Amino acid sequence: MRSVLILGAGPAGSAAAIAALAESVPVKILEKSRQRRHKVCGEFISPEACGILAELGVWEQFLRLEPTRIRDCVLHFGRLTKKWTLPECGYGLSRYELDGLLLERAVALGATVGHEAVTNNSLGNHFPTDAPGAADKTAIVLATGRKVAAPPGKRLFGFKAHFEGPAADAVELFFFDGSYVGVSCVERGITNVCGIAPESALHTCGFRLDEFVLRSEALAERLRPLSRKFKWLTVGPLVYSRTVRTWVDPNTYPAGDALGFVDPFTGSGILNALLTGWLSGSAAARGLSSQGCVARCGALLGKPYWTSALFRGLLDAGCAEHLAALIPGSWLFRLTRVGRLATYRLCA
Ligand SMILES: Cc1cc2nc3c(=O)[nH]c(=O)nc-3n(C[C@H](O)[C@H](O)[C@H](O)COP(=O)(O)OP(=O)(O)OC[C@H]3O[C@@H](n4cnc5c(N)ncnc54)[C@H](O)[C@@H]3O)c2cc1C
């Protein structure tokens, strides 16, 4: 009997597990972390993700966690501010809660979970028997997140902390010094502050993030009534992908950031992870071509990748502010969304 082995229990891995279990195949998840933890993430959940959360069977529980409804989007470039209302509301929920919710759902449906950092060498230990051909019957969903290796020089790092204070229902992005910092609320009125900055910019203030975030006047003003709840978490180096991965081993189904890492300013990484996790888990369970699955994911994600690569180029060249002044905010948002989702059936 075919089975599915999932590497990584982020949104992509858990969505893949739920999709594979819907095909009635045994599912095992291997996750390197033993405990639930906070992750460096803006924690903005794009409106289109709501339908996928419903398909995954977690929508009611998601709402019970009291995520913040996010209605407006505000971009700050120095003194220039650009504000628009989202076509449908997005949500703010911490990754601590979201990842926990999805994994619990997979386990409730029958997935088993082992805790181990899988390497190519240790992978063979997880096939059900040593019989010839056994490995062919176990499809692997690769959902281990983004690769972290990057050459020194123009390296980018991510950081995040939760703050207490007055809550708001907008996601705000502050652009300065080749960096950006997002501020938005998650559950229980907690404010998440998360950013990405080049190593060179962080270096100039000795990597002291409390100092760094005060470099933008607008951001300093926004943070004034807030107080930090836990120490800054950092991650990196971060390497963006210009396109989605195109080649895969016939028995491996990559999903989420393992397919490619889109610039987080798009606020679509979780959406992409849920969507491609579902597609990969379902294809792996059915024994469909992994190459075909990757091509399908690539067709869906092409637009946000293309737009974010262009925007990053403009940001690096110091032109993003001028372009943003000309383009309506709602266009910017639409250009970073996955393609054809409205007419798309996950179970097709
Ligand atoms: C600074 C920053 C801000 C962001 N902000 C947003 C945002 O506001 N909205 C949004 O939608 N997206 C955002 N993203 C993107 C989003 O976080 C990712 O796209 C999303 O987490 C991808 O999910 P995933 O399941 O593919 O990977 P991950 O969430 O990275 O999960 C991978 C899992 O695999 C496990 N793992 C790794 N290696 C192994 C191994 N060898 N063996 C076993 N387990 C392993 C890890 O422990 C982890 O639990 C942001 C990203 C960054 C860096």
147: CA distance to ligand 1 center in Å? 10
pLDDT score at 51: 93
- What are the pocket residues of ligand 1 if the criterion is a CB atom closer than 6 Å to any ligand atom? 7-13, 30-33, 40-44, 46, 117-118, 143-145, 158, 194, 196, 235, 238, 256-258, 264, 267-271, 273
Q: Taking residues 126-148, what's their average pLDDT? A: 75
pLDDT tens digits for 188-229?
999 999 999 999 999 999 999 999 999 999 999 999 999 999
Q: 206: alpha, beta or left, given left = phi > 0 and alpha = psi -120 to 50?
A: left
Residue type (1 letter), 216: S
pLDDT tens digits for 216-268?
999 999 999 999 999 999 998 988 777 777 777 889 999 999 998 888 888 88
Range from 6-10, 39-43, 313-317 carrying the lowest mean pLDDT: 313-317
Query: Which two structure tokens, joined as six digits, stand for 159?
Result: 């950081």
187: CA distance to ligand 1 center in Å? 19
State the pLDDT confidence band at 150, using cuts at 50, 70 and 90. low
Q: Given the CA of residue 146, which atom of ligand 1 is nearest to it?
A: 30
Alpha-carbon torsion 54, 293, 341, 97, what sign?
positive
Better-scored residue on pLDDT, 74 or 129:
74
Query: Which two structure tokens, joined as six digits, stand for 206?
Result: 């000795």
Phi and psi, residue 103, nearest 5° = -70, -40
132 has pLDDT over 60: no
Most confident of 91-100, 138-147, 262-271, 312-321: 91-100
User: Which domains, and CATH codes, for the chain?
Assistant: 3-69+92-144+239-316 (3.50.50.60), 156-236 (3.30.9.100)
DSSP H or E stretch at residue 283: helix 269-286
Is the Cβ–Cβ distance between 18 and 109 less than 8 Å? yes
Is the Cβ–Cβ distance between 11 and 277 less than 8 Å? yes
